[in-house]
Chains A and B, each alone.
Chain A
């Protein structure tokens, strides 16, 4: 009995020339946690050691995180892990209806500019999904996240792992120069924390930082209108006196939050549409255009009015918030 081996011999995780890569990756992910649990059970029979606890912990962690991330912290395995939830939200919960996805260039840098709303950055996630699933080139859109999201505990690492990057000129420029598709919300915090009565009225577009970004990198601007997101968390009032001590820029009061506690973060199942307009070329102005405040403001206003027009068109055709 005492000669029982301490470590259970296990079959190799990935067969040498086995199943298709996609399912092998799937198997590796599932196997990782099962193997870890088997190890923990086995360890329990011989007395729990630090090594076993650490190995279980590590296996549990790497069952849904990859060991390598890209230079901005995007984690392919983590994205894969939460994909079912996001796809459920996309297809069943919000029944997102994208239109004009082909207006996004199939390759090279481009800047998708959208209206922001919904308290939590769900609109960014859904734009990413729309482009990943519906665009012919399966483009991966890197969203530039507001400072407040990039600073909040728990949300910040999760956003980084799914490919979002903190919004700044440096980060945006680096991504665009690398030929990536980048998404921005120029309304910023004024948009995402918008009250219910202000829904679908675009807030000021910052100071035109996104236009300067596009001009400097000669990336075309693709205006994008998200309809439906502005009703998922109807903000009735904002309690800044609660939010400020917690380090939040606003503390929303919705019909369900904070009344229902954690249930209050469940968004309402509205019907969404995401429209992409024709791209606006910026290459003709040259990088020097970024230093021309009049040009920057004109382009910024042009993008704003296109988005507002798309929103108004959708709203006029929409018969129901829930069914479209």
Chain B
């Protein structure tokens, strides 16, 4: 059996997947392809490749050939917006292109790509449950999601051109749970949370254990195509904020977009205005296909993920007191 190469092992999900696979598949079958070295205790092979360098595809091709890689797990994506958008673009869009090109040229059998349910775009016209064949129409003004969309478009085009290369795209709902630290958990850690006045979409929050289980289910399985990895039930945004004991401050949406952009540009804000879409309209995805073809059934609902996160952040708080009027 050939090796399983992992990228993005310094990311939260990539790192956890590396540890899990080292236990289940054995460290000898794994290869870390990343600029950062994996923890020495894991004792896995490491080849340093920078996905943002111009000849990354050639370098990856050499590595994949030398190490006899049969499967690539590509998890090198940023979960939050970056101020250095040019770097993020090089890593996510062009980096994915390099990984796919090298995998196709080296005769790698399968590529698993980490993606986001946010690539569907939050729209008022969305159905209550987005299925995988829904066209991807995110807000074009948002660089963060544009890079993810381009990565998915590269994957779709390679899947067409190289039928032997099986590409699995895992679209994860936003993660929330123990040890998750992202731009939205930083917002959630505040007492006062801005919301859009008059909007209360259903949101999905995925427990990291479920995310890991789905990623693991996709390894070594002969499937191809996109799969939504989502929690068992969505939750209304305001309900989630009140369960967390936050004080939501309604902001009219015509003000919110430019204000968020301004705060982002001046370095105060956590995210640019394009993210307002995601607290305005729903982007709830349907997990039926993953259940059927990956055998992945979520163990946690969005509410459980939220509660797990709150328990992790405030281990001494009596959460049942904060949410008393049940």
Contact = CB atoms under 8 A, between A and B. Distances in A.
Interface of A: 7, 13, 28, 31-33, 35-36, 50-51, 53-55, 57-59, 61-63, 65, 67-69, 71-73, 75, 147, 150-154, 156-157, 160-161, 165-166, 168, 170-171, 174
B127 to A, nearest CB: 4
A61 B242 contact: yes
B198 interface: yes
Contacts of A165: 128
Q: Which 7 A-B pairs have the closest CB atoms?
A: A153-B198, A32-B325, A170-B127, A157-B200, A151-B124, A154-B198, A59-B325
19 contacts: A32-B326, A36-B324, A51-B245, A53-B247, A54-B245, A54-B247, A58-B242, A58-B325, A59-B324, A62-B323, A65-B239, A67-B243, A69-B239, A71-B129, A75-B236, A152-B198, A161-B236, A166-B127, A168-B127
Interface in B295-326: 303, 321-326
Given A51-B245, A54-B191, A73-B202, A170 B324 contact: no
B128 A67 contact: no
Contacts of A62: 242, 323, 325-326
Contacts of B326: 13, 28, 32, 62, 67
B124 A150 contact: yes
A147 B124 contact: yes
A36 B236 contact: no
Given A32-B325, A58-B242, A153 B253 contact: yes
Interface of B: 124-125, 127-129, 131, 191, 196-200, 202, 233-236, 238-239, 242-243, 245-247, 253, 303, 321-326
Contact of B239 (A28, A67, A156, A170): A67
A157 B242 contact: no
B232 to A, nearest CB: 9
Contacts of A35: 324-325
A194 to B, nearest CB: 23
Nearest to A10: B324
B303 A71 contact: no
B148 to A, nearest CB: 23
B246 A54 contact: yes
Nearest to A170: B127
B233 A36 contact: no
Contacts of B127: 166, 168, 170-171, 174
A160 B238 CA distance: 13
A75 B198 CA distance: 17
A181 B110 CA distance: 44
B31 to A, nearest CB: 41
B236 A50 contact: no
Contacts of A36: 324-325
B124 A58 contact: no
Contact of A147 (B125, B199, B321): B125
Given A58-B242, A69-B236, A157-B198, A63 B325 contact: yes
Contacts of A157: 198-200, 236, 238
A197 to B, nearest CB: 32
A118 to B, nearest CB: 22
Contacts of B253: 153
B325 A31 contact: yes
B314 to A, nearest CB: 11
Contact of A68 (B303, B322, B324): B303
Contacts of B129: 71, 170, 174
Given A7-B321, A61-B238, A151-B124, 7 more contacts: A54-B322, A55-B322, A65-B239, A68-B303, A72-B128, A147-B125, A154-B198
Given A54-B246, A58-B323, A156 B199 contact: yes
